[in-house]
């Protein structure tokens, strides 16, 4: 082999080796690209899943806050309606015809008597509860109620008093008790929904 043939052989072997190295490098590069694409795809999926979960969480929080706000508004509206209803009820009680008012007071008084010897305290402006009404209650209940000498500013209705013990059946207290009961029922319905 002469020198030119040796150089050609070396160059040919070098080129073959270079081609092999290039092919191996391209194969490795191709394999790395496939693996990188797989990883990127997996990262994208994880990122999308995290973004979707974060979006759902944020949406859930917004929905929860909106529901809470609506419940507050609904409760405020119901309280406003209750205010109006009880204001009207108080006006209607004051407007009751004398006979109806007296019948109501007799019924309340008969139901409230505990010992039968209480004093009946009435409002400073009360004209419909008088001794004849108390006599009517006494005859029904076989009691010995007496009209108190002093009056109090209770806005209608009466207080049965025996010593320091008072049974307050004033219109304001009766309406407030009814209102509290209704508010409890409303709260149960509102938060039970």
34-52 per-position pLDDT tens digit: 888 888 888 888 888 888 8
Report the pLDDT averaged over residues 10-39.
77
> Structural domain tally of the chain?
2
58 pLDDT above the threshold of 70? yes
Q: Is the pTM of this model over 0.85?
A: no
Residues 90 and 139 in one domain: no
Q: Which one-letter DSSP state was computed for residue 167?
A: E
193 pLDDT above the threshold of 60? no
Residues 82 and 106 in one domain: no
Lowest mean pLDDT among 8-12, 62-66, 79-83: 8-12
134-154 per-position pLDDT tens digit: 999 999 999 999 999 999 999
Q: Are 155 and 172 in contact (CB under 8 A)?
A: yes
**pLDDT of the residue at 190:** 64
6 pLDDT above the threshold of 90? no
Residues 110 and 80 in one domain: no
**Which residues on adjacent β-strands are paired with residue 162?**
165
* Sheet strands side by side (includes 146-147): 146-147, 119-122, 157-162, 165-170
Q: Which of 61, 95, 129 is the last residue of a domain?
A: 95
Gap between the Cα atoms of 101 and 18, Å rounded: 115
Residues 62 and 109 in one domain: no
**pLDDT of the residue at 191:** 67
Q: What are phi and psi of 58, to 5 degrees?
A: -65, -40
Residue 158's domain is classified under what CATH number?
A: 3.30.2320.30
**pLDDT of the residue at 18:** 65
What token pair was written down for 171? 């219109």
The band of 119, judged by pLDDT with boundaries at 50, 70 and 90, is: very high
Residues 49 and 130 in one domain: no
3-state secondary structure labels for all residues of 137-164: HHHHHCCCCEECCCCECCCCEEEEEECC
10 pLDDT above the threshold of 70? no
Token match 């004849």: residue?
132
Residues 87 and 134 in one domain: no
Report helix, strand or coil for 124: coil
Residues 142 and 91 in one domain: no
Residues 116 and 173 in one domain: yes
Q: Which of 40, 61, 95 is the last residue of a domain?
A: 95
Q: Which helix (H) or strand (E) holds 23?
A: helix 3-95
Residues 142 and 162 in one domain: yes
Residues 43 and 119 in one domain: no
Domain boundaries, position 168 = 97-192
Residues 15 and 87 in one domain: yes
As a whole number, the mean pLDDT across the chain is 84
User: Would you list the DSSP string of 54-99?
Assistant: HHHHHHHHHHHHHHHHHHHHHHHHHHHHHHHHHHHHHHHHHHS-HH
Residues 72 and 17 in one domain: yes
The band of 2, judged by pLDDT with boundaries at 50, 70 and 90, is: low
90 pLDDT above the threshold of 70? yes
Apex 79 CA angle, 66 and 193, nearest 5: 50
């Amino acid at each position: 082999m002469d020198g030119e043939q040796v150089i050609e052989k070396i160059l040919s072997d070098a080129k073959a080796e270079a081609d092999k190295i290039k092919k191996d490098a391209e194969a490795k590069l191709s394999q790395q690209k496939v693996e990188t694409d797989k990883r990127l795809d997996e990262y994208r999926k994880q990122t999308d899943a995290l973004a979707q979960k974060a979006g759902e969480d944020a949406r859930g929080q917004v929905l929860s806050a909106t529901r809470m706000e609506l419940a507050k508004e609904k409760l405020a509206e119901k309280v406003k309606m209750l205010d109006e209803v009880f204001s009207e009820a108080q006006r209607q009680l004051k407007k009751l015809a004398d006979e109806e008012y007296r019948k109501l007071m007799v019924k309340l008084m008969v139901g409230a008597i505990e010992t039968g010897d209480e004093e009946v305290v009435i409002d400073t402006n009360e004209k419909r509860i008088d001794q004849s009404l108390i006599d009517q209650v006494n005859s029904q209940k076989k009691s010995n109620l007496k009209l108190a000498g002093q009056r109090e500013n209770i806005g209608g209705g009466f207080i049965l008093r025996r010593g320091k013990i008072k049974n307050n059946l004033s219109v304001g207290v009766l309406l407030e008790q009814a209102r509290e009961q209704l508010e409890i029922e409303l709260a149960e319905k509102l938060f039970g929904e």
